């Protein structure tokens, strides 16, 4: 294995450990599932168990392709954040909540 391959595996392992929100809806022909943070990562199946397996594979493939293309990968829940693509730092929504909490705490201590 080359150094580049190890880096791809490291990044893949990191992103696969993250808990991306999953939306599953029942349809007339079965189920449809999607990851809102991963555009285009959608699967359909008549069986819920098979759908989950397909979604797991699709998420892994989606993330792998983004890593290989050196494209940004959204963090979980970024579909609700002001800045969806964040690399190497906390998501903006968390920063805003932290700053608000710090202001509240400083007011109560004063």
Q: List, for residues 48-60, the tens digit of each pLDDT value.
A: 999 999 999 999 9
Per-residue pLDDT, averaged over 3-11, amounts to: 84
* DSSP per position, 52-98: HHHHHHHHHHHHHHHHHTT---PPTTGGGSSS----SS--HHHHHHH
Look up the domain containing 99 and give its range: 3-109
Per-residue pLDDT, averaged over 87-94, amounts to: 46
Question: Which CATH number goes with the domain that contains 61?
Answer: 3.30.160.250
Each residue's pLDDT tens digit, 19-46: 999 999 999 999 999 999 999 999 999 9
State how many domains the chain has: 1
């Amino acid at each position: 294995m080359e150094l580049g391959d190890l880096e791809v595996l490291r990044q893949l392992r990191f992103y696969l450990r993250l808990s991306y929100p999953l939306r599953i809806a029942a349809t007339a022909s079965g189920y449809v599932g999607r990851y809102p943070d991963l555009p285009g990562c959608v699967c359909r199946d008549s069986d819920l168990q098979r759908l989950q397996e397909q979604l797991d594979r699709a998420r892994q493939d989606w993330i792998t392709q983004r890593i290989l293309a050196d494209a940004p990968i959204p963090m979980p829940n970024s579909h609700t954040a002001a800045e969806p693509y964040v690399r190497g730092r906390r998501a903006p929504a968390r920063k805003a909540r932290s700053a608000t909490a710090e202001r509240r705490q400083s007011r109560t201590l004063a």
